[in-house]
Chains A and B, each alone.
Chain A
Amino acid sequence: MFTAVKNLFSKISGKPEDKSGSTAANRMRLMLTHDRQEVSPGIMNQMKQEILEVISKYFDIDPQEAEFIIQANHFEAESIFSSKVPLLKGAKLRAEHMVAKSEGE
């Protein structure tokens, strides 16, 4: 009973429901992406780390906020890898690289 009331409130307030049903669905989405792509989560994490290291050489970023998504399904020939890495507020291209760039010109 209590759960139903809680669900009602979370629906009204628009807060995400932290119920195991949704947790399972989210874990499932990620898991199947890896399965379909035949990459292990470990390798994916390693790749993410390397990408973030490269980006943070140029910009100030918060690695916690970065998102990496592979869209893969059985029906399309192509899969898409996309990443979203928000830059910290006011982050500019690091000075040393601007110099490198202008020198190269």
Chain B
Amino acid sequence: MGRVIVITSGKGGVGKTTTTANIGASLAKQGKNVCVVDMDIGLRNLDILMGLENRVVYNLVDVIEGTCKVKQALVKDKKLPNLSLLPSAQTRDKTAVNADQVRELVNELKTMFDFVLVDCPAGIESGFQNSISGADEAIVVVTPEMSSVRDADRIIGLLEARKNELDSYRLVINRIKPDLVNANQMMSMDDICEILSVDLLGIVPDDEDIVVSTNKGEPLSLTANKSAGQAYRNIAKRILGEDIPLMDIKGKGFFGKLKAIFS
């Protein structure tokens, strides 16, 4: 039986879809059978990040409504044959599915894959409730901004309320800006972990290459050996149980180094 991991955040635009695509690709690169599921019904994005938008035939709603079989709707990655996408429907909305149907679907996917990663829509309404249905674990994505942390706390409260169904949930802090961290003008990862009192799964620096990789439709974690690409690979390895130290996200200025020596 595979592990179902939902990637969620509360606040929109903090990097759930980016995180799903990159962790999914990294896990597949490590030899695991992976399915990434786009649960953002009506706002389909994951196919674009993976460069698979032209191969979509059926979608998740088709599967749930019985129009097609799961296998027919799965889109295989161009490079990694053990990575598949279950695309969302672009022209439907969240009311097209309910939590029980989603649970049934992910339970079926669990028998076919080692990992099922569910990309959750923003918000705490039905789209969120559907996405966490059937999940074994959750990853909460947060950026070092107050509004994002506040929304993450709300999500953590909702996850905690379902703790008999969830094995664990962990935090990914995304878009850390090294220069701002050095200048103490950004909440530190220690502050965020302490405030939210949640285990940290990983930290990801803000990285312009994410834009380039999205343009190409190729997750950064497959190609880049530094920065965000490396960070996502580390996260995938931690999910597989490896003990990988946190990345050192520091600016490279002279005083940054000096400070590192003294602190």
Chain A residues with CB under 8 Å of chain B are: 1, 3-5, 7-8, 11-12, 17, 19-22, 24-25, 27-29, 31-32, 35-36, 73-75
Whether A32 touches B185, Cβ cut-off 8 Å, given contacts A11-B262, A25-B195, is no
Contact (Cβ within 8 A) B188 A21: yes
Interface residue SS majority, chain A: helix
Whether A31 touches B255, Cβ cut-off 8 Å, given contacts A7-B183, A17-B184, A25-B187, is no
**Interface flags, B169-198, vs A, CB<8A=1, else 0:** 000000000001111111110011001010
> How far apart are the CA atoms of A22 and B191 in the complex, in Å?
8
Contact (Cβ within 8 A) B195 A7: no
CB proximity of A41 to chain B, nearest CB, Å: 13
Chain B residues with CB under 8 Å of chain A are: 146, 149-150, 153-154, 156-157, 160, 180-188, 191-192, 195, 197, 253-256, 258-259, 262-263
A-B CB pair tally, cutoff 8 Å: 77
A residues near B259, Cβ cutoff 8 Å: 4, 7-8, 11
Interface residue SS majority, chain B: helix
Contact (Cβ within 8 A) A3 B197: no
Contact (Cβ within 8 A) A28 B258: no
Whether A28 touches B154, Cβ cut-off 8 Å, given contacts A7-B183, A19-B183, is no
